[in-house]
Amino acid sequence: SCWTAPAGAVIKKGMKVKISAIIKPDRNVLNGSVRIVDTNISKNNSFYGPITESAMRTLLNPDCIPLKLPENKYNLWKKLTITFDYSIMK
């Protein structure tokens, strides 16, 4: 529910974006730490930017901050990696 599809983007089955971020103990994302780790979307795809940026913005969505992570397991999620598989997110 924290992810918002980019308006007008053509998202095909099988498209994936993997992002990583450093999460602070208060379950907020460290500014400037969200990065694209991997994607199978070609940079030549006109929707590359909107799709990858929407994945990155997910961790910064004000409606989802602080992230819903178990406070007592910080060592497990302080370096978070998430794969957005758009074939199951529509």
- Residue 29: strand, helix, or coil: strand
Rounded to whole angstroms, how far apart are CA atoms 63 and 60? 9
pTM of the model: 0.84
Query: pLDDT at residue 72 above 60?
Result: yes
Place of tokens 């940026």: 53
Continuous segment of H or E residues that includes residue 56:
helix 48-58
**5 — pLDDT class (breaks 50, 70, 90):** confident
Q: What is the mean pLDDT of the chain?
A: 91
* pLDDT at residue number 49: 93
Residue 8 structure tokens: 């007008």
pLDDT tens readout for residues 24-68? 999 999 999 999 999 999 999 999 999 999 999 998 899 999 999
Q: Where are the beta strands (DSSP E) in 1-90?
A: 16-22, 35-39, 79-85
